[in-house]
């Protein structure tokens, strides 16, 4: 129903909205830039084909126009510049690849180049160095396709083909360097694994070194293997030893491609049926258990597997690997075990046949490791050098590629007129930028050396223009709050104008405390002072959102100090600035204080702080104050609605909606506000003050009669009857005339404009087309009005009640801070004296301060801002705000690489 | 007479059973406790399935790079971003599959039992295919790593590579499959003997039969809408397999008896249609056997009259329709199965279109099977 009624309002507004002369009617707030979005016109740009790219760049750098897509029906690849974009995508892919490589080596780069940050933050320094020389060089020769040290200027000056070439070369270099480093790393790993396997086999089979104990379980097996081997060794060595040696020498990169079969033949002779053989190698630790299980099953348990994971081996991905030695008795299973090992991705290495062989192999492996380590280190440092150079320019490259892509995406939105050699673009442009558009286009024509200037037409259109506000850094966070609910409709009254004051104020009503307000102000002031530094370099990530909202926080803090002064609370303690106006009888404090007949000059009298009836006094004060603030706030909402209707020249809605709405609010709660103020300003000394609640209830239960002792002013009964009658009249007034007026207008055929507007909005938006487009349906309009009436009348009561949250939150805040003050700080301070007292004092202060910052400054402030937010979004904005516009999103090209 | 075995085809009038109602109610109440989140993710995935409009755009592409450009505008996003031009069809296929697998893995990581078990059932089909692929490859001495790359990533399991060691079916079971979900099917159904090509096909079909029957029972046990939706889909799967087995067995050594043993005993064809299929000697026999089943009669007729359509295509189309219907209901697991199947179909479509484009066969480009 809410949406429906809002849509209805939208139509009503559209019906009177005429694009041409809306800007001419100026009311007082109409002249504030923030109050209504900037007038935006639809411009048609006819760009010469040769100057088109330059024009888009110039416009994009200034960020002043939003391109309308004139090729909505066309798919991405049917558009004019699809080919070009594909070409740029390829460049983007290379940039992406470079980023990936840099990210992969980030740690190593940090280490190598002394913690020199790579990636995002490397650019400023790198460019600072390079651009100094580059600026000198380039300043003279404009637009020279300069190459060399790739600073931003150099990158910007390159043609697309040059850039492609450069990227291609860089990628090729990187890939080569990376793959050779990787290959060397693999070889090194293989060599290390080989050495480790040899060590394990040596200690396990030969029974030496640190592994002998681990192999205790397989000791007899190991001994048997060793025995079989040493027995057989002499005969076999002559046959196969030379062969094995050759292989090792040739295969200088280590057993990168081990030939396991050779090792098998070596390690155990086949004719010896009683001998034991073994298969050894390296397998991923993660697969170790599955591997053992499969080995066990495959041989029906006739295998002994020794696993050693002490070697600290790892693969490329950093997973642990461990050495295994599988000892078996029967030769037949050798091939099978080998295949199983392979299928588990194990690397098997030659282990020689005797102790001597193994010593020899180990020595070889060791020297290979030594060589490889050196070569690897060199390759790595070459790779890192390359990466470091590339990381200096990658930001510029990325900026350039993204920028080009954005330009061609924008060009793809234009209509290409091949025959005339020009492009037709339609852009939304705020009127304040109109002149700048011409400047930009002139600059582009000059830059591209084109003879024919671009032509600019203003088009009249039925499309709703985008909403654009000129923001300052102070107003931006407030506008953000409003936009989070919905972007204002084009030229609609912008609630931000009042939110700038009301938001921090309503927050402060709930957060009123001089001390806490001061802390918040100081924090915000700190953020504001850091502004210059952090706007360029970026705020620390924890403070980022607070930094965005720094002026909001500042206002909230200052307002909190103000309300704190009114409540007279500083960390829950009143400050007796002007001297309390209560008289205390000397000596006995339990006796009630006496009035001096004079009011405290500003805010709440500090004398209330110690009074027993403090709470009932403050509650009554804050409750009434909440209602007054609420009514004023809602009245403001209605005033905004009036301003909108005046602006859009909608007399019908002023008469049929704003006026009854105003009277409904005023006759009920406006009157209550009057009573509150009256009661405050009446002296009831010696009399019983009448209860306002009773007065309001009796106003409806027994209209016209007010008991003499309950009367607040003369003629109260009669006035109340008038108010009730006004209320009773206003409800049908709000409900009935408007639908019938619309109906009559329609029947007379005067609603052409309205109809075309409705149809238009359905055609263009598509999203708010619910299938009842241009047809006039009285029932529907009536239902909308019924819904609106019910919503408004009920809302009058419930929204007013909603403002009582001001009182509730304020009470909670005051009570919490008082509890922390009295029960933590004062209690600790008064527990004992002397050195123990000092300790208590320190601890107590720490606890109190922690609670104040954590609970009050953290949680309480958050909850108070959420409640303030709600009061704005719901209670205030539902009186007038449509919020269904769409934001102006200009093409924005960064002039510099974005850091 | 075999005809006496035929079950009546009409459905019994449903009586309202309190227990069934209670279970339906509890499904309604508690489904979202554990399965709401995965289902929500899945429904999100589902809206990423390419639409007719997307296909219309894809078929207009001139090159694979055009396809990439268009696929970037869909749910596939920049999945081809890091592939250098020119693209190959296989690359597109791999990346599409990779996305499906990633989505599926993510989904599976989010779910509780019994949905997890259900999703495992979905993968078993691919495991069977992978096992057969590997064993077959190993038998022909193909390179293991090459074979592993060809395996469907959804059907990967640990120690899969060890399959190549197996020389006999017993090895196959003892070494590898015992630990996998395929273990039970294998143990109960497959005779231990030496592996040869014929054997492997028989093993594949036997495993499928066991799998389908088991999955069917599992869905039945889950009950509710899941059973309703899944049983229909699985019955069709079973029927399709029976028909395919019969047609493929013509001209091989497979005896009719052995053939009959491979038929899953679920589905609309069971038991009468299967008996008739079991006796068929040629394509006409199959047609005669399926005469009494309007769905299959229709499919066979379609294939006959439409020269461009193969039987396989017709089956795919029907399966896609059934899977689409799964999305019409809520609070059941059928959508998970249907999603994987539809996505597979989508990948087949994309690959088909890509192949047509790269081979300049534009005339046949529209033979893909539209989904939504």
Which of A10-14, A217-221, A323-327 has the highest mean predicted lDDT (pLDDT)?
A323-327
| pLDDT on residue A149 | 40
Cβ proximity of A209 and A404 under 8 Å: no
Q: Tell whether A342 is within 8 A of chain B (Cβ).
A: yes
- Give the tens place of pLDDT for each residue, A230-282: 544 433 333 333 333 333 333 333 333 444 444 444 344 444 445 677 888 88
Crossing angle of helices B334-358 and B115-139, rounded to 10°: 40
| Residue A444 CB partners (closer than 8 Å, separation 6+) | A51, A54, A55, A57, A58, A59, A454
Which chain B residue shows the shortest CA-CA distance from A293?
B175
In a 13 Å sphere around the CA of A207, the CA atoms on its Cβ side amount to 13
Based on the number of CB atoms within 10 Å of its own CB, is A442 exposed (0-12), middle (13-18) or buried (19 or more)? middle
Which of A296-300, A401-405, B79-83 has the highest mean predicted lDDT (pLDDT)?
A401-405
Between A205-209, A490-494, A883-887, B307-311, the lowest mean confidence (pLDDT) is in A205-209
Q: When comparing pLDDT for B183 and A405, which is higher?
A: A405
| pLDDT on residue A589 | 61
Q: Which residues pair with A60 in a beta bridge?
A: none
Between A320-334, A568-582, A717-731, the lowest mean confidence (pLDDT) is in A320-334
Q: Give the residue from A69, A76, A77 with the most B CB atoms within 10 Å of its CB, the best one to mutate.
A: A77
Crossing angle of helices A2-16 and A778-802, rounded to 10°: 110
| pLDDT on residue B3 | 43
| pLDDT on residue B69 | 81
- Give the tens place of pLDDT for each residue, A443-459: 999 988 888 888 898 99
CB contact under 8 A, B60 and A75: yes
CA distances from A660 to A629, A642, A735, B195 (A): 21, 12, 9, 91
Separation of CA A860 from chain center: 23
The helix/strand count (H/E) of chain B reads as 16, 0
Could you tell me whether strands A66-67 and A422-430 are parallel, antiparallel, or unpaired per DSSP bridges? Answer: antiparallel
| pLDDT on residue A32 | 67
CB contact under 8 A, A342 and B60: no
Q: Tell whether A384 is within 8 A of chain B (Cβ).
A: no
> If DSSP codes are grouped into helix, strand and coil, which group holds residue B176?
helix
Which chain A residue shows the shortest CA-CA distance from B158?
A290
Which chain B residue shows the shortest CA-CA distance from A295?
B175
Q: Enumerate the residues of chain A whose CB falls inside 8 A of the CB of residue B178.
A: 297
Cβ proximity of B74 and B92 under 8 Å: no
Q: Enumerate the residues of chain B whose CB falls inside 8 A of the CB of residue A77.
A: 61-62, 66, 69-70
C-alpha to C-alpha distance for A828 and A840, rounded to whole angstroms:
5
| pLDDT on residue B15 | 59
* Selected residues 180-239 of chain A with any CB under 8 Å from a CB in chain B: none
Which chain B residue shows the shortest CA-CA distance from A97?
B82
C-alpha to C-alpha distance for B35 and B38, rounded to whole angstroms:
6
Least Cα distance to A894 among A407, A364, A455, A377 occurs for: A407
C-alpha to C-alpha distance for A138 and B336, rounded to whole angstroms:
61
Q: When comparing pLDDT for A272 and B141, which is higher?
A: B141
Please count the residues of chain B: 372
CB contact under 8 A, A297 and B174: yes
Q: Enumerate the residues of chain A whose CB falls inside 8 A of the CB of residue B62.
A: 77
Q: Give the residue from A69, A73, A75 with the most B CB atoms within 10 Å of its CB, the best one to mutate.
A: A75
- Give the tens place of pLDDT for each residue, A338-351: 878 887 878 888 77
- Give the tens place of pLDDT for each residue, A288-340: 888 888 888 777 777 888 887 777 777 766 778 888 888 887 777 777 788 78
CA distances from A820 to A514, A856, A862 (A): 16, 10, 19
Q: When comparing pLDDT for B332 and A30, which is higher?
A: B332
* Selected residues 86-125 of chain A with any CB under 8 Å from a CB in chain B: 86, 89-90, 92-93, 96-97
Reported confidence tier of residue A591, pLDDT bands at 50, 70, 90: low
| Residue A300 CB partners (closer than 8 Å, separation 6+) | none
C-alpha to C-alpha distance for A284 and A307, rounded to whole angstroms:
11
> If DSSP codes are grouped into helix, strand and coil, which group holds residue A329?
coil
Q: When comparing pLDDT for B125 and B137, which is higher?
A: B125
C-alpha to C-alpha distance for A792 and A17, rounded to whole angstroms:
25
Between A288-302, A536-550, A618-632, B284-298, the lowest mean confidence (pLDDT) is in A288-302
| pLDDT on residue A231 | 47
| pLDDT on residue A238 | 33
Could you tell me whether strands A320-328 and A415-417 are parallel, antiparallel, or unpaired per DSSP bridges? Answer: unpaired
| Residue A549 CB partners (closer than 8 Å, separation 6+) | A477
Which chain B residue shows the shortest CA-CA distance from A95?
B82
Average pLDDT for chain B: 84
Cβ proximity of A844 and A824 under 8 Å: yes
| pLDDT on residue A864 | 95
C-alpha to C-alpha distance for A622 and A566, rounded to whole angstroms:
11
CB contact under 8 A, A294 and B162: yes
Q: Enumerate the residues of chain B whose CB falls inside 8 A of the CB of residue A82.
A: 66, 69
Reported confidence tier of residue A733, pLDDT bands at 50, 70, 90: very high
Long-range own/partner contacts, residues B337-342 (CB < 8 A, 24 or more apart): B337/B118, B337/B122, B337/B230, B337/B233, B338/B229, B338/B233, B339/B42, B339/B45, B339/B46, B340/B100, B340/B104, B340/B122, B340/B154, B342/B46, B342/B49, B342/B371
Between A206-210, A653-657, A786-790, the lowest mean confidence (pLDDT) is in A206-210
Average pLDDT for chain A: 80
Separation of CA A761 from chain center: 32
Q: Give the residue from A283, A286, A293, A343 with the most B CB atoms within 10 Å of its CB, the best one to mutate.
A: A343
Q: Enumerate the residues of chain A whose CB falls inside 8 A of the CB of residue B80.
A: none
| Residue A826 CB partners (closer than 8 Å, separation 6+) | none
Q: Which residues pair with A320 in a beta bridge?
A: A314
C-alpha to C-alpha distance for A755 and A761, rounded to whole angstroms:
10
| pLDDT on residue A150 | 63
Between A358-362, A366-370, B92-96, B118-122, the lowest mean confidence (pLDDT) is in A358-362
Based on the number of CB atoms within 10 Å of its own CB, is B17 exposed (0-12), middle (13-18) or buried (19 or more)? exposed
CB contact under 8 A, B163 and A343: yes
Separation of CA A265 from chain center: 65
Is pLDDT above 90 for A710?
no
Cβ proximity of A119 and A102 under 8 Å: yes
CB contact under 8 A, B72 and A77: no
**What is the mean predicted confidence (pLDDT) over B330-342?**
92
Q: When comparing pLDDT for A238 and B118, which is higher?
A: B118
**What is the mean predicted confidence (pLDDT) over A64-68?**
92
CB contact under 8 A, B84 and A93: yes
| pLDDT on residue B192 | 64
Dihedral of CA atoms A277, A280, A286, A289 in degrees, nearest 10, equals: 10
Q: Return the number of other C-beta atoms located less than 10 Å from residue A680's C-beta.
A: 10
| pLDDT on residue A515 | 95
State whether the Cα torsion B278-B282-B286-B291 is positive or negative: negative
| pLDDT on residue B14 | 55
Cβ proximity of A38 and A432 under 8 Å: yes
| pLDDT on residue A587 | 66
Q: Left if phi > 0, otherwise alpha if psi is -120 to 50, otherwise beta: which for A572? A: left
| pLDDT on residue A679 | 92
The distance of A286 to chain B (nearest Cα, Å) reads 11
State whether the Cα torsion A369-A370-A373-A376 is positive or negative: negative
| pLDDT on residue A201 | 80
**What is the mean predicted confidence (pLDDT) over A52-75?**
89
Q: Tell whether A744 is within 8 A of chain B (Cβ).
A: no
| pLDDT on residue A500 | 93
**What is the mean predicted confidence (pLDDT) over A146-175?**
76
Based on the number of CB atoms within 10 Å of its own CB, is A303 exposed (0-12), middle (13-18) or buried (19 or more)? buried
C-alpha to C-alpha distance for A891 and A410, rounded to whole angstroms:
8
Of B73, B81, B85, the CB nearest to A96: B81
| pLDDT on residue A877 | 94
| pLDDT on residue A767 | 41
Of A78, A93, A293, the CB nearest to B81: A93
Between A23-37, A209-223, A423-437, A479-493, the lowest mean confidence (pLDDT) is in A209-223
Could you tell me whether strands A582-583 and A277-284 are parallel, antiparallel, or unpaired per DSSP bridges? Answer: unpaired
Burial A34-51 (b: 16+ CB within 10 A, else e): bbbbbbbbbbebbbbeeb
Between A27-36, A238-247, A750-759, B113-122, the lowest mean confidence (pLDDT) is in A238-247
CB contact under 8 A, B162 and A344: yes
Identify residues of B whose CB sits under 8 angstroms from chain A CBs: 57, 60-62, 65-66, 69-70, 72-73, 81-85, 144, 158-159, 161-165, 171, 174-176, 178-179
| pLDDT on residue A229 | 53
Of A90, A287, A336, the CB nearest to B85: A90
Dihedral of CA atoms A410, A416, A422, A424 in degrees, nearest 10, equals: -60
Which chain A residue shows the shortest CA-CA distance from B134?
A343
Reported confidence tier of residue B230, pLDDT bands at 50, 70, 90: very high
Crossing angle of helices A476-485 and A496-510, rounded to 10°: 90
The distance of A543 to chain B (nearest Cα, Å) reads 33
Query: What radius of gyration, in Å, describes the C-alpha atoms of chain B?
Result: 22
- Give the tens place of pLDDT for each residue, B246-275: 888 888 888 888 888 888 888 888 888 888
Which chain A residue shows the shortest CA-CA distance from B66?
A77
**What is the mean predicted confidence (pLDDT) over A726-749?**
90
Least Cα distance to A305 among A283, A331, A332 occurs for: A283
Q: Enumerate the residues of chain B whose CB falls inside 8 A of the CB of residue A290.
A: 158-159
Least Cα distance to B215 among B43, B307, B333, B319 occurs for: B333
| pLDDT on residue A552 | 95
Is pLDDT above 50 for A768?
no
C-alpha to C-alpha distance for A94 and A100, rounded to whole angstroms:
10
CA distances from A34 to A492, A644, A884 (A): 11, 14, 17
- Could you report how far apart the first and last alpha carbons of chain B are, in Å? 45
- Give the tens place of pLDDT for each residue, A109-128: 877 776 544 444 434 434 44
Q: Return the number of other C-beta atoms located less than 10 Å from residue B106's C-beta.
A: 12
Q: What's the per-residue H, E or C state across A310-322?
A: EEEEECCCCCEEE
H helices of A237-332, in order, are: 242-250, 260-267, 288-298
**What is the mean predicted confidence (pLDDT) over A856-877?**
94
| pLDDT on residue A258 | 41
- Could you report how far apart the first and last alpha carbons of chain A are, in Å? 46
């Amino acid at each position: 129903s809410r949406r429906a009624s809002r849509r209805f309002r939208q139509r009503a507004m559209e019906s009177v909205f005429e694009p041409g002369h809306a800007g001419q009617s100026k009311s007082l707030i109409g002249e504030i830039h923030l109050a209504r979005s900037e007038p935006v016109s639809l411009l048609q740009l006819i760009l010469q084909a040769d100057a088109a790219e330059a024009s888009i760049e110039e416009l994009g750098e200034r960020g002043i126009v939003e391109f309308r897509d004139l090729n909505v029906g066309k798919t991405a690849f049917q558009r004019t510049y699809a080919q070009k974009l594909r070409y740029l995508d390829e460049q983007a892919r290379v940039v992406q690849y470079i980023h990936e490589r840099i990210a992969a080596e980030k740690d190593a780069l940090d280490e190598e180049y002394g913690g020199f940050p790579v990636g995002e933050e490397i650019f400023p320094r790198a460019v600072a160095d390079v651009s100094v020389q580059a600026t000198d060089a380039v300043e003279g020769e404009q637009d020279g396709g300069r190459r060399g040290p790739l600073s931003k200027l150099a990158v910007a000056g390159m043609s697309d083909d040059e850039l492609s070439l450069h990227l291609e070369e860089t990628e090729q270099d990187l890939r080569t360097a990376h793959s050779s480093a990787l290959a060397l790393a693999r070889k090194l790993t293989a060599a290390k694994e080989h050495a480790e396997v040899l060590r394990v086999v040596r200690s396990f089979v030969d029974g030496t070194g640190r592994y002998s104990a681990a192999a205790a379980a397989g000791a007899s097996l190991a001994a048997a293997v060793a025995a079989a081997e040493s027995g057989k060794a002499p005969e076999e060595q002559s046959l196969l030893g030379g062969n094995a040696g050759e292989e090792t020498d040739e295969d200088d990169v280590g057993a990168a491609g081990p030939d396991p079969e050779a090792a098998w033949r070596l390690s155990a002779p086949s004719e010896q049926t009683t001998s034991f053989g073994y298969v050894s190698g390296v397998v991923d630790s993660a697969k170790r258990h599955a591997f053992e299980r499969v080995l066990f099953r495959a041989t029906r348990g006739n295998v002994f597997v020794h696993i050693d994971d002490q070697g600290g081996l790892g693969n490329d991905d950093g997973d642990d690997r461990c050495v295994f030695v599988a000892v078996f008795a029967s030769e037949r299973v050798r091939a099978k075990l080998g295949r199983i090992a392979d299928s588990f991705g194990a690397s098997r290495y030659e282990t020689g046949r005797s102790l001597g062989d193994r010593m020899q192999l180990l020595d070889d492996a060791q020297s290979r490791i030594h060589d490889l380590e050196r070569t690897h280190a060199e390759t790595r440092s070459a790779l890192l050098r390359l990466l470091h150079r590339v990381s200096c320019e990658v930001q510029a490259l990325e900026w350039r590629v993204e920028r080009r892509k954005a330009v061609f995406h924008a060009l793809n939105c234009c209509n290409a007129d091949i025959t005339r050699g020009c492009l037709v673009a339609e852009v939304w442009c705020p009127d304040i930028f109109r002149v700048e558009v011409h400047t930009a286009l002139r600059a582009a024509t000059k830059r591209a050396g084109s003879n024919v200037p671009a032509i600019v037409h203003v088009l009249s259109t039925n499309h709703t223009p985008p909403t654009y506000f000129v923001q300052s850094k102070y107003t931006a966070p407030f506008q953000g709050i409003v936009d989070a609910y919905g972007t204002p409709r084009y030229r609609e009254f912008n609630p931000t104008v009042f939110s700038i004051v009301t938001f921090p104020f309503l927050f402060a009503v709930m957060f009123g405390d001089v001390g806490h307000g001061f802390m918040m102000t100081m924090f915000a002031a700190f953020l504001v002072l850091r502004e210059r530094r952090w706007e360029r370099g970026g705020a620390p990530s924890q403070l980022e959102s607070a930094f965005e909202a720094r002026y909001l926080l500042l206002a909230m803090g200052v307002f909190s100090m103000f309300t704190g002064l009114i409540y007279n609370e500083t960390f829950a303690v009143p400050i007796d600035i002007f001297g309390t106006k209560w008289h205390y009888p000397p000596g006995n404090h339990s006796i009630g204080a006496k009035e001096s007949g004079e009011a405290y000059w500003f805010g709440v009298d500090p004398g209330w702080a110690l009074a027993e009836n403090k709470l009932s006094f403050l509650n009554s004060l804050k409750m009434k104050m909440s209602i007054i603030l609420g009514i004023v706030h809602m009245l403001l909402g209605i005033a905004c609605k009036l301003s909108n209707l005046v602006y859009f020249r909608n007399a019908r809605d002023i008469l049929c909606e704003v006026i009854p709405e105003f009277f409904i609010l005023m006759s009920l709660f406006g009157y209550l506000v009057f009573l509150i103020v009256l009661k405050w300003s009446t002296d009831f000394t010696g009399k019983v003050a009448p209860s306002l609640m009773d007065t309001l209830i009796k106003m409806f239960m027994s209209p016209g009669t007010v008991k003499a002792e309950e009367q607040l002013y003369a003629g109260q009964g009669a006035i109340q009857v008038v108010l009730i009658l006004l209320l009773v009249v206003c409800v049908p007034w709000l409900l009935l005339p408007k639908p019938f007026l619309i109906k009559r207008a329609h029947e007379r055929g005067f609603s052409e404009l309205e109809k075309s507007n409705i149809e238009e909005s359905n055609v263009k938006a598509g999203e708010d087309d619910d299938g009842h487009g241009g047809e006039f349906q009285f029932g529907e309009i009536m239902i909308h009005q019924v819904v609106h009436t019910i919503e408004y009348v009920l809302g009058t009561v419930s929204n007013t009640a909603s403002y009582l949250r001001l009182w509730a939150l304020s009470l909670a805040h005051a009570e919490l801070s008082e509890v922390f003050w009295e029960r933590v700080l004062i209690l600790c301070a008064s527990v004992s004296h002397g050195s123990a007292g000092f300790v208590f004092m320190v601890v107590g202060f720490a606890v109190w301060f922690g609670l104040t910052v954590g609970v009050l400054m953290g949680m309480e402030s958050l909850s108070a801002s959420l409640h303030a937010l709600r009061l704005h979004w719901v209670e205030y904005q539902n009186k007038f705000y449509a919020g269904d516009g769409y934001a102006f999103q200009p093409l924005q090209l960064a002039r510099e690489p974005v850091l | 007479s075999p005809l006496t075995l035929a079950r009546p085809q009409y459905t019994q009038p449903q009586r309202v059973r309190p227990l069934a109602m209670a279970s339906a109610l509890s499904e309604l109440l508690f489904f979202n406790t554990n399965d709401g989140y995965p289902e929500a993710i899945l429904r999100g995935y589902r809206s990423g399935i390419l639409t007719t409009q997307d296909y219309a755009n894809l078929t207009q592409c001139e090159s694979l790079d055009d396809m990439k450009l268009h696929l970037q505008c869909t749910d596939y996003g920049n999945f081809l971003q890091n592939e250098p031009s020119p693209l190959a069809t296989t690359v597109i296929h791999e990346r599409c599959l990779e996305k499906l697998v990633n989505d599926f893995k993510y989904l599976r990581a989010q779910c509780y039992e019994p949905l997890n078990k259900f999703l495992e059932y979905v993968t078993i089909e691919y495991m069977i295919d992978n096992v057969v692929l590997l064993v077959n490859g190993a038998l022909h001495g193909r390179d293991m790593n090459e074979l592993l790359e060809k395996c469907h990533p959804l059907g990967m399991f640990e120690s899969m590579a060890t399959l190549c060691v197996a020389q006999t079916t017993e090895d196959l079971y003892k070494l590898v499959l015992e630990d996998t979900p395929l273990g039970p099917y294998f143990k109960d159904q497959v005779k231990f003997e030496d592996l040869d090509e014929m054997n492997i096909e028989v093993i594949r079909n036997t495993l499928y039969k066991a799998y389908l029957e088991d999955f069917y029972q599992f869905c039945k046990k889950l009950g509710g809408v899941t059973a309703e939706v899944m049983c229909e889909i699985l019955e069709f799967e079973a029927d399709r397999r029976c028909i395919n087995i019969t047609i493929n067995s013509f001209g091989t050594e497979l005896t009719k008896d052995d053939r009959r043993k491979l038929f899953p005993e679920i589905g609309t064809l069971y038991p009468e249609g299967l008996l008739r299929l079991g006796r068929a000697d040629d394509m006409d026999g199959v047609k005669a056997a399926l005469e009494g089943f309007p769905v299959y009669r229709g499919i066979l007729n379609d294939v006959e009259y439409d020269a461009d359509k193969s039987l396989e295509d017709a089956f795919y189309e029907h399966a896609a329709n059934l899977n689409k219907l799964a999305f019409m209901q809520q609070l059941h697991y059928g959508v998970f199965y249907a999603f994987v199947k539809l996505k597979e179909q989508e990948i087949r479509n994309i690959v088909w279109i890509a192949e047509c484009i790269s081979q300049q066969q534009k005339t046949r480009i529209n033979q893909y099977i539209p989904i939504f």
